[in-house]
């Protein structure tokens, strides 16, 4: 059973620091099911490849199995795919030999451990229950390019067709820990099997390794179900905890931070002006189907329902807690039926293609993009402008130049702790015009709030039209 991980990040040999393995040595670890070796098949500044080779001993597995074996001898116990197919054995091996890397720690390269780098993972034999489609549905939403070649059942008898095994290469840009977590969780999911008993602590394991990304994964239900070996109780528990916890977006902290942002921006009640500007655009466009992406606690959704003729308003947010807040604000449970028909709130991530977002006249993305990691902006752009393609898109984001005028904001800080960036006017304009050009939209830029002659307005808005 083989897994190779390569990077072309310079200097590529830093991969050794990230994996806590010296590229010049062979590292061997004895495990209950066999021996696991880590070797580096190449290690130059331009490209470095670490190979994890797990020698699974199928005979040893049967011999070591606890409890009475009775007479159930079958060839299957001895001749099976476990020695070479990527399965839960590989996950256990990853956990054991790359345990520190999985937690995102690196003594020598702490910053690099936190930095998305180009990675390529190759697995020569991956069992895929559900075929290539499932493979893609699991890995593509995480931002990987998936190359899969089916392996024939028997190469001397091509007529027999393909097996359920694929040779798989995943290419992407992510933190090394992300790649390891994705493999750790998704390989047994693809195999749809585990070599050990699955109990409640398996839910903890799933949340520990999937907490940062699973809640926003469109296949999270399938993943949880298969990972927990179709145990319905454990699966329900895992999904509930996953959606309630939102580890990537702690709602309580979020609320505190939102308040901080409101305090910073308060003297001009910027939020109110922003809502008014967006509503003005929506009224002008006359669109009847409106989706609010990153709707948060639903302030804009509330105003759209009140102030426009929209027939269908969809609020989308990655945070389950935010959606609960929105549902309370809108009094969804006691809303009159005709109003209720106009509005829907769903959980979703803006960086993933989502069929539910197609067919809208307008999409609003208000004070959201600055919460995305810059490397994910491309995924956001593709999901919205190439895939969902609403007729209009309204995006707002802070103008960082204006921050100097906020009395309560220490210089050099952003307005909100969760902001990953704040752009100058020219940065926003450059992004917006490139996006418009790439996807066949026209774009116009506006300032919202008091306009300073040198620094511009505190909020900037881009309105894209097809």
Span interacting with ligand SAH, options 90-98, 198-206, 316-324, 449-457, rule CB under 6 A: 316-324
Give just the sign of the alpha carbon dihedral 212, 215, 219, 224. Answer: positive
Span interacting with ligand SAH, options 59-67, 121-129, 154-162, 313-321, rule CB under 6 A: 313-321
Residue 132 in contact with residue 166, Cβ under 8 Å? yes
Instruction: Give dist(CA 295, CA 304) in Å, integer.
Output: 12
Residue 294 in the binding site for ligand SAH (CB under 6 A): yes
Binding-site member from 264, 318, 362, 383 for ligand SAH (CB under 6 A): 318
Residue 397 in the binding site for ligand SAH (CB under 6 A): no
Helix extents (H) in 214-316 = 220-227, 232-245, 251-265, 270-285, 299-307
Which CB sits closer to ligand SAH, 234 or 322? 322
- Report the site for ligand SAH in 326-355 (rule: CB under 6 A): 349-351
Residue 350 in contact with residue 293, Cβ under 8 Å? yes
Q: To which residue do tokens 């195999």 refer?
A: 191
Integer CA distances (angstroms), 289 to 43, 235, 313, 381, 437, in order: 54, 35, 6, 20, 24
Instruction: From 406, 417, 402, 415, select the one nearest 453 (Cα to Cα).
Output: 402
Residue 317 in the binding site for ligand SAH (CB under 6 A): yes
Residue 242 C-beta: closest distance to ligand SAH, Å:
15
- Enter the tokens of residue 433: 């015009």
Instruction: Give dist(CA 252, CA 113) in Å, integer.
Output: 27
Tell me the number of residues near ligand SAH by CB under 6 A: 17
Binding-site member from 14, 178, 191, 367 for ligand SAH (CB under 6 A): 367
Region for 368 from its dihedrals, namely left if φ exceeds 0, alpha if ψ lies in -120 to 50, beta otherwise: alpha
Span interacting with ligand SAH, options 9-17, 58-66, 106-114, 292-300, rule CB under 6 A: 292-300
Which CB sits closer to ligand SAH, 72 or 252? 252
- Nearest residue to ligand SAH by CB is 296
Residue 313 in the binding site for ligand SAH (CB under 6 A): no
Instruction: From 376, 375, 320, select the one nearest 348 (Cα to Cα).
Output: 320
Residue 388 in the binding site for ligand SAH (CB under 6 A): no
Residue 130 C-beta: closest distance to ligand SAH, Å:
26
Residue 366 in the binding site for ligand SAH (CB under 6 A): yes
Integer CA distances (angstroms), 48 to 14, 43, 122, 144, in order: 8, 4, 13, 19
Task: Print the binding letters for residues 190-229 with ligand SAH: x by CB under 6 A, - otherwise.
Answer: ----------------------------------------
Instruction: From 98, 81, 95, select the one nearest 1 (Cα to Cα).
Output: 81
Which CB sits closer to ligand SAH, 217 or 371? 371
Which CB sits closer to ligand SAH, 91 or 351? 351
Which CB sits closer to ligand SAH, 101 or 291? 291
Instruction: From 186, 192, 194, select the one nearest 170 (Cα to Cα).
Output: 186
Span interacting with ligand SAH, options 61-69, 138-146, 235-243, 318-326, rule CB under 6 A: 318-326
Residue 389 C-beta: closest distance to ligand SAH, Å:
18
Please report which helix (H) or strand (E) contains residue 152, including its range: strand 145-152
323 alpha-carbon distance from chain centroid: 18
Integer CA distances (angstroms), 371 to 249, 254, 294, 347, 450, in order: 10, 11, 10, 16, 24
Which CB sits closer to ligand SAH, 218 or 296? 296
Residue 462 in the binding site for ligand SAH (CB under 6 A): no
Which CB sits closer to ligand SAH, 372 or 463? 372
Residue 265 in the binding site for ligand SAH (CB under 6 A): no
Residue 291 in the binding site for ligand SAH (CB under 6 A): no
Residue 176 in contact with residue 50, Cβ under 8 Å? no
Which CB sits closer to ligand SAH, 165 or 385? 385
Cα angle 228-76-69, degrees, rounded to a multiple of 5: 80
Residue 231 C-beta: closest distance to ligand SAH, Å:
29
Which residues here bind ligand SAH, judged by CB under 6 A? 249, 294-296, 299, 317-319, 322, 349-351, 366-368, 371-372
């Amino acid at each position: 059973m083989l897994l190779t991980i390569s990077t072309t990040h310079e200097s590529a040999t830093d991969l050794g620091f990230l994996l806590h393995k010296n590229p010049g040595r062979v590292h061997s670890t004895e495990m209950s099911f066999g021996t696991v070796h880590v070797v580096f098949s190449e290690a130059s500044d331009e490209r470095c490849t670490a190979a994890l080779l797990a020698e699974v001993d199928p005979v040893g597995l049967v011999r070591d199995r606890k409890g009475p074996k009775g007479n159930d001898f079958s060839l299957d116990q001895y001749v099976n795919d476990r020695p070479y197919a990527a399965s839960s054995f590989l996950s256990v091996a990853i956990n054991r030999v790359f345990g520190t890397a999985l937690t995102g720690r690196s003594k020598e390269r702490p910053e690099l451990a936190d930095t998305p780098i180009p990675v390529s993972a190759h697995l020569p034999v991956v069992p895929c229950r559900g075929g290539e489609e499932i493979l893609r549905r699991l890995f593509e939403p995480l931002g990987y390019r998936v190359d899969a070649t089916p392996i024939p059942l028997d190469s001397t008898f091509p007529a027999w067709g393909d097996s359920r095994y694929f040779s798989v290469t995943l290419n992407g840009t992510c933190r090394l820990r992300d790649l390891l977590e994705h493999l750790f969780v998704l390989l047994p999911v693809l195999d749809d099997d585990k070599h050990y008993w699955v109990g409640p602590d398996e839910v903890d394991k799933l949340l520990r390794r999937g907490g940062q990304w699973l809640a926003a994964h469109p296949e999270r239900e399938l993943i949880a179900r298969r990972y927990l070996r179709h145990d319905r109780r454990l699966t329900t528990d895992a999904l509930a905890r996953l959606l309630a916890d939102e580890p990537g977006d702690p709602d309580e902290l979020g609320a505190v931070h939102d308040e901080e942002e409101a305090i910073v921006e308060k003297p001009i009640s910027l939020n109110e002006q922003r809502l008014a500007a967006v509503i003005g655009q929506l009224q002008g466009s006359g669109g009847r189907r409106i989706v609010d992406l990153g709707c948060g606690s639903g302030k804009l959704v509330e105003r759209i329902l009140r102030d426009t003729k929209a027939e269908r308003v969809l609020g989308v947010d990655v945070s389950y807690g935010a959606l609960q807040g929105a549902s309370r604000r809108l009094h969804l449970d006691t809303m009159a039926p005709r109003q209720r028909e106009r509005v829907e709130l769903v959980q979703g991530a803006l960086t993933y293609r989502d069929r539910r977002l197609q067919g809208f006249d307008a999409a609003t993305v208000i004070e959201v993009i600055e919460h995305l990691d810059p490397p994910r902006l491309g995924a956001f752009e593709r999901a919205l402008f190439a895939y969902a393609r609403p007729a209009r898109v309204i995006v707002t984001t802070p103008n960082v130049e204006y921050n100097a005028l906020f009395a309560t904001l220490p210089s050099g800080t952003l307005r909100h702790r969760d902001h990953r960036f704040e752009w100058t006017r020219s940065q926003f304009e450059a992004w917006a015009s490139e996006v418009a050009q790439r996807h066949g939209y026209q774009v116009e830029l506006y300032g919202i709030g008091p306009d300073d002659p040198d620094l511009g307005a505190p909020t900037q808005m881009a309105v894209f039209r097809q």
